[in-house]
Structure 1
Amino acid sequence: MTTLTVALLQLDRPEPDLTVTREAGEAACRRAAALGADIALFPEMWSNGYHSAEPIGTVYRHPELWAGHPPVAGAEGEPAWRGEPVTADSDYVAHFRALAAELGIAIALTCLERWAGAPRNTLFLTDRHGRLVLTHAKVHTCAFARPEVELTPGGSFDVATLDTAAGEVRVGAMICYDREFPESARSLMLAGAELVLTPNACDLEVNRLSQFRARSFENMLAVAMANYAGLGWGHSIAFDGMAFGPAGSRDMLVIEAGEAAGVYPAVFDLAALRSYRRRETWGNAFRRPGSYAALTAGEVAEPFLRSTHDGMPFRR
């Protein structure tokens, strides 16, 4: 086999109840397997439906823009997120690991993960044998806004070798806001990724969709993104990473969903992608890393200064 199918699980946001999300998630995975999927990809933080307990308010602004904008305070002593956090060794994750082995497909499960201190926003990738092969915690938490300030960010972009019916494929992950930074996809490409799985929880309008296309194009990566269904949301999407063919420019779009709930299979031709990556000019062959010192310098200057209402700057 040379094709790999990623089922984009564009589902209605569930209530933040582990029993509810386990049952609805299992039904979606069974549907994905019936459609021939090799991988089932959930939207962001499926275990609690991305439900927060704090108001969505701004935490960081340009220092000059705080006048007339008092900070939004969370409820004293209340957790920032609704629902119960889970761990990698929890019964909840174990259920989906067993399901992956039963169905013979990989499952990219997303959870509010219990962590030392604040919880994490995490993807657990289980292979078709039920083995946990990759854990990715969202690196670019939306630290400008509550309640994502109350998350522990991840610290790296790692890649795993996933055993599938189509053979081994090198897989990495970005979660929602991660994809808005070109360094995320670039780091995954440099680490050897061929496919990037991207759980999402926000409106996917033309700019974000175009941005995601660019991540695929500039890194010659297959990319797949699953979003929640609903009015103004939806538009789960996949691109195959091959911007040019024998006839010149081509559309990399594999599939784009509408706003309705459903399981949307994205079929990638791995052999064609690998051939394209061997002969084309993007990716890593002609980069000049010695010229990019500013990318890792870390200084922030105007107009990008941000601080809390009491003048504390954002710390990386």
Structure 2
Amino acid sequence: MPNAPLSVALIQHRDAGSVEANLDATAAAVAKAAANGARLVVLAELHTGPYFCQTEDLATFDRAEAIPGPSCERLGAMARDNGVVLVGSLFERRAAGLYHNTAVVFETDGRPVGTYRKMHIPDDPGYYEKYYFTPGDTGFVPIDTSVGRLGVLVCWDQWYPEAARIMALSGAELLIYPTAIGWDPQDTPEEQARQQDAWMTVQRGHAVANNLPVIACNRTGHEPDPSGHAPGANFWGTSFVAGPQGEILARAGEAQPEILTIELDRGRTEAVRRQWPFLRDRRIDAYGPILQRYIDPT
């Protein structure tokens, strides 16, 4: 990645009610971001519809689409028309009965230049993703673009330092996380604050440990549980960008859609790694046990 500054925009998203309405809102936001100078635009997780994983419903699989497909065509046109590199997130129908949570990267001419299929799949109350998504098989491989080598991961991947590290070791120059995370409205304010703080802290840790900028683009707004059995989810927004020492460079609010724009100093990683050479000092001869599920203390 060259050392010239890079203007990045995060489109903090609220569900608009339909695929067409969501894509129209996204197109308007991308155009506005590009008009303000953005060259890289990042969208939130599963931004073409609601976060449907609150319940398990066979009919929901009808939301999935092929890649390439209609939404890819729209996103590619947004990238081309605005001259930006665009990171999107789609519910991929790979084959009958085989679906993925997939990020797609589009070049400034509208071409899809890479995909990443979400590797870590949660299965928690309100986040029943294992019902819908097959774990990814693309591995942790950065995607080369005209604005640099992008380490694209997705949401639940945020909690795993291994994923960030492998992207960094593979030459990623930015870590990017399209995200859908929020509070259970029944949690206490203290618990909600702890969860949000943990979410930001772990990603700032990835920035520090790898001396890379981290971009996390989240949803916002309340989305009801379609089954009516739970109070739904309050997505907490707070999209942010951290620098290579974990410093918060920009942060969105919690409750509203927002275009968060930041100019990244792309020479910082080199400067910080000279001062804190973590990659140099790794003891790769001693890390074999990390491949085990659990190390029995006996």
- With the length of structure 1 as denominator, give the TM-score of the two structures: 0.78
The whole-number CA distance in structure 2 between the counterparts of 1:284 and 1:46 is: 35
Q: 2:225 maps to what in 1?
A: none
Q: Give the SS at the match of 1:30.
A: helix
Unaligned runs of 5+ in 2: 183-194, 222-233
Deviation at 1:281, TM superposition (A): 2.5
Amino acid at match of 2:211: M
Q: Please give the alpha-carbon distance, in whole angstroms, between the structure 1 residues aligned to 2:11 and 2:5.
A: 19
Report deviation, 1:275. 3.1
Instruction: Give the conservation status (yes or no) of the 8 Å contact 1:85–1:119.
Output: yes
Residue aligning to 1:186: 165
How many residue pairs end up in the alignment? 266
SS in 1 for 2:199: helix
Once structures 1 and 2 are overlaid, which stretch shifts more, 216-225 or 155-164? Answer: 155-164
8 A contact 1:48–1:82 mirrored in 2: no
Partner AA of 1:152 in structure 2: T
User: Does residue 7 of structure 2 align to residue 5 of structure 1?
Assistant: yes
Distance 1:83 1:47, change over 3 A: farther
- Stretch deviating more after TM superposition (43-52 or 29-38): 43-52
- Closer, same or farther: CA 128–86 of 1 in aligned 2, 3 Å: same
1:93 to partner: Cα distance: 0.2
CA distance in 1, matches of 2:282, 2:50: 40
How far apart in 1 are the matches of 2:22 and 2:149?
28
Gaps of 5+ in 1: 56-73, 244-250, 303-316
Structure showing the higher helix proportion among its residues: 2
Superposition map of 1:52-201 within 5 A: 52=53, 55=55, 74=56, 78-79=58-59, 81=60, 84-116=63-95, 117-144=97-124, 147-150=128-131, 151-155=133-137, 156-164=139-147, 169-201=148-180
Distance in 1 (CA, whole Å) between partners of 2:252 and 2:26 is 19
Q: Which residue of 1 aligns with 2:224?
A: none
Contact 1:196 1:221 (8 Å CA) reproduced: yes
Q: AA paired with 1:170? A: R
1:205-261 per-residue CA deviation (whole Å, 9 max, x = no partner) reads: 1111111100100001111011112366011011111x2xxxxxxx62110111121
**Once the 2 structures are TM-superposed, how far is the Cα of residue 131 of structure 1 from its aligned partner?**
2.0
Give the aligned partner of residue 49 of structure 1: 50
Letter matched to residue 34 of structure 1: A
What's the counterpart of residue 63 of structure 1? none
Structure-2 separation of matches of 1:201 and 1:36: 26
Cα distance in 1 for residues equivalent to 2:235 and 2:16: 17
User: What residue number does 1:216 align with?
Assistant: 207
Cα pair 1:18 1:83 within 8 Å, conserved:
no
Shift of 1:82: 6.3
Matches within 5 A, 1:19-58: 19-52=20-53, 55=55
CA RMSD of aligned residues (A): 2.1
Larger radius of gyration between Structure 1 and Structure 2:
1
Q: Secondary structure at the match of 2:94?
A: coil
Query: Shift in Å at residue 129 of structure 1?
Result: 1.8
Q: CA deviation at 1:183?
A: 0.3
| Structure 1 partner of 2:185 | none
Q: String of CA shifts for 1:290-313, please: whole Å, max 9, x gaps.
A: 2111211234769xxxxxxxxxxx
Equivalents in 1 of 2:277, 2:124: separation in Å? Answer: 33
Verify: 1:280 aligned to 2:260, yes or no: no
**Same amino acid, percent of matched pairs:** 26
Letter in 2 for 1:161: D
Offset from partner CA, 1:64-119 (integer Å, 9 cap, x none):
xxxxxxxxxx45xx24x366212222122012112211110011111111123231
Q: Are 1:45 and 1:112, in contact at CA under 8 Å, matched by a contact in 2?
A: yes
- Name the aligned partner's letter for residue 47 of structure 2: W
The equivalent position to 1:234 in structure 2, one of 211, 228, 237, is 237
Question: Which SS does the other structure have where 1:37 is aligned?
Answer: coil
**Structure 1 residues 232 and 50: CA distance shift in structure 2, 3 A:** closer
For residue 6 of structure 1, report the CA deviation from its aligned partner.
1.6
- Deviation track 1:121-149 (CA, whole Å, cap 9, x = no partner) reads 11101111212122011100104556311
